[in-house]
Amino acid sequence: MAEQPHFDDAFRAELERLFVWRRDVRRFEPAPVPEAAMATLIASANAAPSVGLSQPWRLVRVRNAARRLAVRGIFEHCNADALAAQPEDRAGLYARLKLSGLDEAPEHLAVFTDEGTAKGGGLGRATMPETLGYSAVLAIHTLWLAAAARGLGVGWVSILDPEAVARALDVPAGWRLTGYLCIGYPSQPSDTPELERAGWERRASVSDLLLER
């Protein structure tokens, strides 16, 4: 059995700083992400925990210009619908928000959940099948932290039609889009969420979110 590693106070302090600096990035530098760094990020995602060790995440590195353009078109359509649905007092602010880095990010990574995977034998998801999707989200978050530790930014584009993206990327049936990620070096790094800086929302305190019984 492997020996449990010791993480000292200095490491824990740096880890806390990493949590703070992990941001949803939408403004990127054009510099390419080194291949070795991308390989490390993908390996980190694959090391994430998953229900029943099912590893239901399926990763699609989107490099083809036509497919990227198709995803951008899906975003534009969905974003127009979202803008039209905004209440009058928020529509102007919404229209000014930068909600994706699709044009600037050098890397696009689509993360799907294979909802039909037999891996893991169904363990742990009979009563909560959504844990497959949660597992894919954990893979995204693990990759996100690994990226932030290397000075890379990740932007999660969620204003998308999952089925349309699946068709645009020609993935197998049964794969459902969990997240479409833009990856690159941030042009405006900050330890404050961009939506907070823009005045859209503020982070709640732990006391507002914690219930004890």
Q: How many degrees, rounded to 5, is the angle at CA 21 between CA 206 and CA 16?
A: 60
For residue 46, the domain's CATH number is 3.40.109.10
Q: Using pLDDT thresholds of 50, 70 and 90, give the confidence band for residue 2.
A: confident
DSSP state of 52: G
Q: Is residue 211 included in any domain, yes or no?
A: no
Q: Is residue 103 included in any domain, yes or no?
A: yes
pLDDT score of 57: 98
Residues 83-100: tens digit of each pLDDT? 999 999 999 999 999 999
Q: Which of 67-71, 143-147, 187-191 has the lowest mean pLDDT?
A: 187-191
Place of tokens 């000075």: 151
Q: How many CA atoms lie within 13 A of 164 on its CB side?
A: 15
Q: Is residue 145 included in any domain, yes or no?
A: yes
Q: Is residue 66 included in any domain, yes or no?
A: yes
Q: Is residue 57 included in any domain, yes or no?
A: yes
Tally Cβ neighbours within 10 Å of residue 144. 25
Q: Give alpha helix (H) positions in the chain.
A: 9-21, 35-46, 65-84, 88-96, 131-149, 162-169, 194-197, 206-209
Q: Is residue 21 included in any domain, yes or no?
A: no
Domain of 89, in residue numbers: 26-198
State the total domains in the chain: 1
Residues 52-76: tens digit of each pLDDT? 999 999 999 999 999 999 999 999 9
- The model's pTM is 0.95
Q: Is residue 1 included in any domain, yes or no?
A: no
Q: Is residue 10 included in any domain, yes or no?
A: no
